[in-house]
Amino acid sequence: MNEAKFNPEDMPILDLDTSETSRYEASRFLDSPEVISAYLAESMKAQDPQLLMKALAEVAKAQGVHKVAQEAGVNRESLYKSLKGGEKTRFETVRKVMKALGVELTVQPIGATTAPPTVATRTAAIAKKPAKAKAAAAAKPTAAKELHQG
């Protein structure tokens, strides 16, 4: 049996008018802390530092680079240089920029499907417990206290 081979020259040429379309810019859609957090979390899943820097740059652009630089305590040019990628940015700079953007890094077990409980969610859960349970919880040392005391 003789199979026909694919020949790209046989394909029709599409003449698309793109003059009415605009360039996609993620920064136009990064308009709430929840969206920003989800966007950065997805970029971190790739485990590519350059992708994270580009994502941080998009968020900074959405919030105003000058404002973000001021809140992070760095000058605007330095922020641009740090976020453009290609060089190793100090963790402290990334942390300051993320804080200025209103987000923070969290740690969770690899493969976890939900975020670990935060201090706020743990405090809220304790507040809902009956008085006896609250007293018992207050008397019980936490792992963090044990680490600092031991």
Domain ranges of the chain: 26-100, 119-149
pLDDT of residue 124: 57
Predicted local distance difference test score (pLDDT) of residue 60: 93
pTM: 0.59
How high is the mean pLDDT of the chain? 77
Do 57 and 84 contact (CB within 8 A), yes or no? yes
Cα atoms in the 13 Å half-sphere on the side-chain side of 98:
19
Q: What is the pLDDT of residue 11?
A: 65
pLDDT along the chain (150 residues), means of 10: 66 68 75 89 90 92 94 92 82 93 89 64 56 57 54
Compute the 3-state secondary structure of the chain and give helix, strand, coil in percent, each to the nearest 5.
55, 0, 45
pLDDT of residue 64: 92
- Alpha-carbon torsion 28, 26, 71, 114, what sign? positive
